[in-house]
Amino acid sequence: MEINALFTVLERIMDDSRPAVLSTVDAAGKPHRRWMVPTILRGTRGALYAVTSPRFHKIEELAANPHVSWLIQGKTFEEIVEASGKAVIVDNPVLKSDVLEALGPSLSTFWRVTPDDSELVVIETMIERIDYLKPVDGTHERADAV
């Protein structure tokens, strides 16, 4: 599959299943993974967005190494997408508002930990590669965005 077809698959799976695993690497080279809720902003194909608090450890990890990987799976576990690229922290009120609107009610757990949305920043991941797996039939497709 070519990259645009894989972006379409990624969008379809994310529409069906919100949670994803973000993998980062800290300054010492140790991997870290956490469940997050990313989104794709329509009209901005090529990037994943999520919100976080600037006081969380992932901010330091991204400053040390911007390479990240997102693991997203369909609700039935029949399709898995890994989107990897470089992430940056963006503190922009308009982007933050757009991301929060796109995420809607999917952040209920996050709001219990970070009730003040004025503290939020956006993680913007520019996707460089997408891997698509369909374990049931052995499908594995990969495409680079660059």
Q: What is the pLDDT along the chain (146 residues), one digit of tens a residue?
A: 899 999 999 999 998 877 999 999 999 999 999 999 999 998 888 999 999 989 899 999 999 999 999 999 988 889 999 999 999 999 899 999 899 888 876 665 555 555 566 678 999 999 999 999 999 999 999 999 97
Q: Give all domains of the chain, ordered by start, each with its CATH number.
A: 3-144 (2.30.110.10)
Residue-level pLDDT at 146: 72
Please, where are the H alpha helices in 25-126? 57-64, 93-103, 108-113
Provide the pLDDT for residue 84: 98
Q: What pairs with residue 90 in β-bridges?
A: 122
Positive/negative CA dihedral, 42, 43, 49, 51: negative
Nearest CA to 38 out of 138, 146, 117, 127 is that of 127
